[in-house]
Structure 1
């Protein structure tokens, strides 16, 4: 059965030397489209203080289905997979479910 709880995504991208500004420019488009998705809760872009070639994305979605919709969206397919991933040395993604205490 599909998880109906919110899903948080932590994505760490190690960007190829000299490509950070290009990636950040492309991410602006992805961010703007992503925050308009029905199941999006937030989309935050961070840059590492210790390694300026590392970008960390912190995203929130209302459910697993919303994550799937995001990954299947035209902006994710075109910009993230088509244009950004080739500019990365490494890409790690962790999906989490927030723990709520009563």
Structure 2
């Protein structure tokens, strides 16, 4: 695995009527994710034109830290089991910094 920092861009389109529930769960998930070893940042943004569109921008020290995050109890329970069923769609892009 690469020792280079890795960044995650995730666009979540929340089902109508589920935004408050998603934001409540996401607050917990963000706090716990930010405390993980190897996490550089965990930022949540909301579209100005569509409040049901959330953008997550996350940074990890390396791929090992990202894999730890994805396999964490926090991610599996809060994001995969609770939040994903409340989404219309989700796109995740992994990125390396170019310059």
Scaled by the length of structure 2, the TM-score of the pair is 0.98
State the 1:81 CA deviation: 0.3
Q: How many residues align?
A: 99
Rounded to whole Å, the distance in 1 between the matches of 2:95 and 2:3 is 13
> CA-atom RMSD, angstroms?
0.6
Is residue 2:60 matched to residue 1:57? no
User: 5+ residue gaps in structure 2?
Assistant: none
Scaled by the length of structure 1, the TM-score of the pair is 0.95
Rounded to whole Å, the distance in 2 between the matches of 1:35 and 1:53 is 23
User: 5+ residue gaps in structure 1?
Assistant: none
Q: Which runs of 4+ in 1 moved over 4 A?
A: none
> Deviations along 1:46-98, whole A, 9 cap, x unmatched?
00011111000000000011110000000100000000000000000000011
